[in-house]
Amino acid sequence: MEYIFLGIVLFFCAASLGGLVVYVLLTPKLKKYMALARIDDLTKLYNSREFKYRLENEAGRAKRYHKPLSLILIDLDGLKSLNEEYGYVAGDTLLTEFAQFLESVSRTSDILFRYRLGDEFAVLLPETPEESARVFAARLYSDIRKHRLNLLYNKPITISIGLASLNGSKDTIPSLQQRAESRLGKAKNEKK
């Protein structure tokens, strides 16, 4: 009887150790695939899927703790003409440069995304009221001119910005996004 019990204990120990070995061997690969599902391959910013997830979480947190939350949508105005004139490699270079620029001017608490697979980006600003988000957006708009993105192709690159903030606990995520997208569209139309 003792041997049967000892055999059962040894079996479970081996199974546990085997599971641990499998876990240790697979963990780096799992982390890599999890990151691929959340990160845009080109810009290395969070992707649209992660945007939806983070927006829901941050909006929920903002409402629960009565904190502000602002959203900035950004569109690179000259990407289409750059792609047409110089090719998609030039456009990809611009997208990468802009992502690096955006990281350099953002706070560590800001969450950066490639909003859509084209030329749009998003910045979530947790615990940031609309007035402070406006200051950040104005600085971003000004700094992009000084930074002179994509000098290699000597094309002037400008951005359009749409900004919105949660308005109280009754405000919804779709209305927040719709306001930011509407303001982005208005900014783009004013440049035409």
Catalytic residues: 119
Helix axes 88-105, 130-147, angle to 10 degrees: 130
Token readout for 22 is 């499998």
Token readout for 46 is 């969070």
Candidates 102, 184, 180; CA nearest to 94 is: 102
Q: Is 158 helix (H, G, I), strand (E, B) or coil?
A: coil
Residue 121 carries which side chain, given as an amino acid letter?
F
